[in-house]
Amino acid sequence: MVVNGTLLRIFGDDIVVGRALGAVTALAAGALLFWIGTRLRDKKFGFLCAAAFLVYSEANTNFRWVRSHPMAGTLALASVGFLIRYVQEKRLRDAVWAGVFCSLATATNYFPYPLIGGVIATVAVVNWREWKSPRAWRDVILAGVLACAYAGLFVLWYIAMQWAGRS
């Protein structure tokens, strides 16, 4: 909503501004699905993944709404894409980016909160055989902390506001 409000403030109060944001978000989701499809198989499969999403009537309807759901879904897709890349290549930067995009998704809407557990579980399962290694623990802890970053800040803010209201 902050992104939409900022765009409305800059470009004027018009429904076209919100719809343009929805269109850009949908195209970003399509691009992410293409990337995920190419990671899973090849470019042809990636194109089919993106095309199936972009012509799906329910997705078109949902992305027309000026709400946080489409952006949360797009950020969650980015997190899942980096998790897939982490499973394939086992590089720390992919776990970090999965955690960052998970945190951004949870900052956008409360629906992606279960993804926090998915990020932590995926990184832990990938490192299961090396559980005694400090590198494995580093990956799990860093991805988990980054995935929980917004949720932790929100809880701290809520507690501070409750404490400030009582004094």
The pLDDT score that the predictor gives to residue 66 is 65
Q: How far apart are CA 23 and CA 18, in angstroms?
A: 9
- pLDDT tens for each residue of the chain, 167 residues long: 788 888 889 998 888 888 888 888 889 999 999 999 999 999 999 999 999 998 887 777 777 776 788 889 999 999 999 999 999 999 999 999 999 999 999 998 888 999 999 999 999 999 988 888 888 889 999 999 999 999 888 888 889 998 887 76
The pLDDT score that the predictor gives to residue 49 is 94
Q: How far apart are CA 87 and CA 127, in angstroms?
A: 9
Would you say 75 and 120 are in contact if contact means Cβ atoms under 8 Å apart? Answer: no
Domain ranges for the chain, please list them. Answer: 1-67, 90-167
Q: How far apart are CA 74 and CA 63, in angstroms?
A: 10
The pTM for the full model equals 0.85
CA 12 to chain centre: 28
Cβ atoms < 10 Å from Cβ of 6: 11
